[in-house]
Amino acid sequence: MANYQRADVERVLPYLFDDEAAYGIKAEVYVEDGMPKGYSDPSKGNSVFASLADVRRAWQQADLSLVERQAVFMRYVLDDQLQVIASLYDVKASTAMRRHERGVGKLTAWLNGERYVDGYDCLPEQEAA
């Protein structure tokens, strides 16, 4: 099972509904033209394409409320600012932020096969303390 971090999910969310997006996502290890290229191990290759597929599946199956889906979509796919999202729903920016953060948290928890609880991103640090 993959161990997804919130940043992994956020990285591919802007490409969620773009069928050709994987062709435009820059690999994590990028070598400029004209620079020497070393040996690459395919088993340690870029997993961004797999992450995108997994997040698309999570989007379909994870238990997000309608307002969470809308906030995530508007924030990452449409690249709207939180204030714009808040004004559309006539709520405070903090409410819009909480909705989109909760949505991303639920997607991340689903991908990791875990139950979402508020503050999900802080759980591993609390256990380590």
pLDDT tens sequence across 102-117: 999 999 999 999 988 8
Average pLDDT of the chain is 80
Residues 61/91, Cβ–Cβ less than 8 Å: no
Give the residue, 51 or 64, on which the prediction is more confident: 64
Q: What is the rounded average pLDDT of the residues 47-56?
A: 85
> pLDDT at position 51, please?
86
> pLDDT at position 125, please?
44
Residues 101/107, Cβ–Cβ less than 8 Å: no
Q: Which of the residue ranges 31-35, 41-45, 84-88 has the most confident prediction, judged by mean pLDDT?
A: 84-88
Domain range summary for the chain, segments of one domain joined by +: 6-116
Q: Rounded to a whole number, what is the largest CA-CA distance in the chain?
A: 54
What pTM was computed for the model? 0.74
* Residue 122 in this model has a pLDDT that exceeds 60: no
CATH class label, 6-116? mainly alpha
Separation of alpha carbons 51 and 2, rounded Å: 9
Among residues 125, 128, 114, 105, the alpha carbon closest in space to that of 6 is found at 105
* 66: its two tokens: 């309608």
